[in-house]
Amino acid sequence: MESWHGTTILGVKKDKRTVIAGDGQVSLGNTVIKPNAKKVRRLGADGAVIGGFAGATADAFTLFERLEKKLEQYNGQLMRASVELAKDWRTDKYLRNLEAMMIVADKDVMLILTGNGDVLEPEGGIAAIGSGGNYALAAARALAEYEADPEVLARRAMGIAAEVCVFTNDRLTVETVEA
């Protein structure tokens, strides 16, 4: 059975701005199924949290919905909501089978969430997930000391990832939060 591929999500936190960028490609084997998927979105009632996902789309939307409920329950506190989601994700029989990863951010913090119960704050304010994540991460780290604007940095790094990863394209969705 062929598996779905085709996600690169990059988060960049610099100064008082955080950007999450995601490519638009969804592939099945060596075929591009959709070139313009939206893998990055605003979360929470007030849109103060942004998030991007890699993995199965239905699983990611389930996790986004759960995170939004946790944000509501914990008054928009992203760290607390993320830890509680990770606990549920790790221990709940249904959630444990979901195959996705997420990068989420608000004005204060950027986190990587995994199904292993991980809530990770990336070193240096740069995080990437998905099949092209390592390419985007390497490019962003290389550009970080030369580019002050996190959105420009994210767009350039994603462009580099799209040039070298066959599962990544340059049709980006970008969301930003500012402190």
Catalytic positions, written as ranges: 7
Q: Which helix (H) or strand (E) holds 104?
A: strand 100-105
Tell me the three-class secondary structure of 125-167, residue by residue.
HEEEEECCHHHHHHHHHHHCCCCCCHHHHHHHHHHHHHHHCCC
Amino acid at 65: E
Q: Which residues pair with 52 in a beta bridge?
A: 40, 103
What SS3 state is found at 116?
Answer: coil
